[in-house]
Chains A and B, each alone.
Chain A
Amino acid sequence: MAKLYDLSKLAVLVVDDNKFMRQIVFQILHGLGIRQVAQAHNVDSALEVMTDSPTDFILSDLDMGAKSGLDLIKAIRQSDRPEMRMLPIVMVTGNATRKYVESARDAGVTEFIAKPLTAQSLYVRIVDVIERPRQFVKTKKYFGPDRRRKSDDSYDGPRRRADDRG
């Protein structure tokens, strides 16, 4: 049984070019008690919404035509606004092939959620974001959450992560 979170203070941005899919996500989020749900039908519109309204995390489709969810992730991670750069981005995908997963991971996605969406699957993902934040990594080529999710006991290379130094 999942523990209960009061999510009523969160502001979520839903990005999907399919209106019905946005409605699906909107209904689930409202059912989970989230009242501030903004919607955008493409990447440009999403970036505008984020400029105008507070956003705590983003749920975005991957495949949206000319500009994809990957472009959105890159725009956010390269933003000049620090609070925007570190926003959690959950990618909703019906096509979780290795290639897509790796591209999204390398662009700086926080989490994935596979379709078909259910209230349970979406809630579990939100709780993951709340309870298991990953530190951010900044290199010349990458800015985003640490892409190494698990600690590897057999790893004997240099230990550079902040949580390695505890």
Chain B
Amino acid sequence: MSDDDKPEFLSNPNPIAKKARVMVGRTADDMLKTAEARLDTLKGDFTTIIKKDVDRLAELIKQAEVDLPNRDAHIQMLKKVFHELRGQGGTFGYPLISEVGDSACKYIDASPTMGDAQVKILKAHVDTFKAVVAGNIQGDGGAIGRELMKTLQFILARAKG
């Protein structure tokens, strides 16, 4: 390593440590409960959002099926919706929504081309998402949730050959 590349180390002024004051002898439990309660006030909004997203995803997959010149753009928009869902589902007690969103995003990322067969697989994700929302399936979804995910995984495995 030449002298020119020699790293310079600078101490971290860490100004937030000076502004944040530790409350000796107290735990964060009550504050965390307050924060979770505030988060819960958004649960109704999330339910409204996922119902709208069902329609949005159904429209996007339909467009991806028929509007071939713009298929990639429709798929990217579909991925964006699934990406947000995967991030938010778990926050509001819908881990299955996160799972379906995660599976769809990973499938899109792993598909170098988007032919009819790939669009069919994504349609299966949209249908699974519809079923989760229609059934208001929360938590792990119990037997119905497991069955839905098993079916989706079977479709993915069959597509891989």
Contact = CB atoms under 8 A, between A and B. Distances in A.
Nearest to A26: B38
Given A1-B27, A3-B28, A31-B36, A23 B5 contact: no
B28 A123 contact: yes
B28 A1 contact: yes
Interface of B: 4-17, 19-23, 26-29, 31-32, 34-39, 41-42, 45-46, 49, 83-84, 86-91, 98, 102, 105
Interface stretch (A40-48, A66-74, A135-143): A135-143
15 contacts: A4-B27, A20-B45, A20-B46, A20-B49, A27-B35, A27-B42, A86-B13, A94-B87, A115-B86, A116-B88, A123-B35, A129-B16, A136-B9, A137-B10, A162-B9
Given A2-B28, A3-B26, A139-B5, A23 B10 contact: no
Interface in A1-44: 1-7, 9-10, 18, 20-21, 23-24, 27-28, 30-33
A5 B20 contact: yes
A21 B27 CA distance: 27
Interface residues of A, number: 53
A118 B20 CA distance: 20
Contacts of A120: 32
B9 A160 contact: yes
B11 to A, nearest CB: 6
Nearest to B30: A4
Nearest to A88: B16
Contact of B28 (A5, A23, A135): A5
A108 interface: no
A3 B22 contact: yes
Contacts of A162: 9, 11
Given A24-B39, A32-B31, A116 B98 contact: yes
Q: Which of A9, A94, A120, A131 has the most CB of B within 10 A?
A: A94
A95 interface: yes
B57 to A, nearest CB: 16
B88 A31 contact: no
Nearest to A63: B83
